[in-house]
Amino acid sequence: MVEKESKNKKIERKVVESESVDIMGPNWKIIYIPVKGHDGIALITQRQDADYIEETITGREQGKIVEKKFRNYDEEYERCFHRLPGKKNKYGFPASGYYLGMLFTAMDKHLKGIDGTDVKRHIRVLAQEGDLVPFEYKELKRVVSNPKRPKGSPDTRHRPWFYGWTAELCIRYNADVFNPSSIVNLVAHAGVCSGIGTWRPSSPKGPGPNGTYEIDKSRLGKNLEE
């Protein structure tokens, strides 16, 4: 008669000595690339704060009755700014905007030898304050435009237009996949093909000529890496 093994029987774990394992992670490096807006081309920012979205859009989706109010153009204008944390008159642009521009450029085959999947996995544009990349500018204008709504009726928008803006991108990349030259070239192409902000070339709903930029060669050092 064969005796069945007990389900509660403890299994002894044998410790076997083995060779040490070397974990080879991504070869991350940091590169700093200065950029500047094209002459005569504005960077147009437009954002909506969380309270406004909760009060209007989310409220409607949840079936809440949203009280109709007269539009306050000054308040709408102020909501367009991406202010640096704790700094009233200092502005930035989301790091994700620059990254998506680089990804759009790679996915759309604007630059030979750079694959969109590699950009997804091996490149990150790092935010420097909050989720923003700070920028400096020479001139700020409040511009009123009258774009059409989806159904064709005219709208009125008050937006900030920044001229003569400059920024410095801090980019982390896998040096086993990309080299500094390929990163600089990707940023240069993204500045022309994609841009950032409202009415940029890559905007899916309202493409335009704004928000384009180029490498600022006057500030581009020989040693780009940290």
- Residues 90 and 67 reside in one and the same domain: no
Domain count, the chain: 2
Complete DSSP assignment for 175-189 = TTT--HHHHHHHHHH
- Residues 125 and 198 reside in one and the same domain: yes
- The reported pLDDT for the residue numbered 61 is 57
Give a yes or no: residue 70 inside a domain: yes
Nearest C-alpha neighbor of 38 from the set 195, 144, 170: 195
Give a yes or no: residue 224 inside a domain: no
Distance of alpha carbon 161 from alpha carbon 44, whole angstroms: 5
- Residues 89 and 156 reside in one and the same domain: yes
Give a yes or no: residue 23 inside a domain: no
- Residues 59 and 100 reside in one and the same domain: no
- Residues 67 and 169 reside in one and the same domain: no
- Residues 133 and 85 reside in one and the same domain: yes
Give a yes or no: residue 75 inside a domain: yes
- Residues 137 and 212 reside in one and the same domain: yes
Give a yes or no: residue 21 inside a domain: no
- The reported pLDDT for the residue numbered 136 is 96
- Residues 34 and 63 reside in one and the same domain: no
- Kindly state the helix (H) or strand (E) to which residue 60 belongs, with its residue range: helix 57-61
- The reported pLDDT for the residue numbered 120 is 95
- The reported pLDDT for the residue numbered 17 is 65
Residue 58: domain span: 49-79
For the chain, which ranges sit under pLDDT 70?
A: 1-18, 48-67, 222-226
pTM (predicted TM-score)? 0.81
- Residues 176 and 96 reside in one and the same domain: yes
Distance of alpha carbon 145 from alpha carbon 159, whole angstroms: 8
- Residues 190 and 180 reside in one and the same domain: yes
- The reported pLDDT for the residue numbered 195 is 96
- The reported pLDDT for the residue numbered 4 is 52
User: Are 164 and 137 within 8 A, CB to CB?
Assistant: yes
Give a yes or no: residue 56 inside a domain: yes
- Residues 116 and 202 reside in one and the same domain: yes
Strand order from edge to edge, sheet including 139-145: 43-44, 157-163, 139-145
- Residues 93 and 132 reside in one and the same domain: yes
Inter-helix orientation angle 180-193/95-107, to 10°: 90
Give a yes or no: residue 9 inside a domain: no
Give a yes or no: residue 89 inside a domain: yes
Nearest C-alpha neighbor of 77 from the set 162, 161, 159, 199: 159
Distance of alpha carbon 44 from alpha carbon 141, whole angstroms: 10
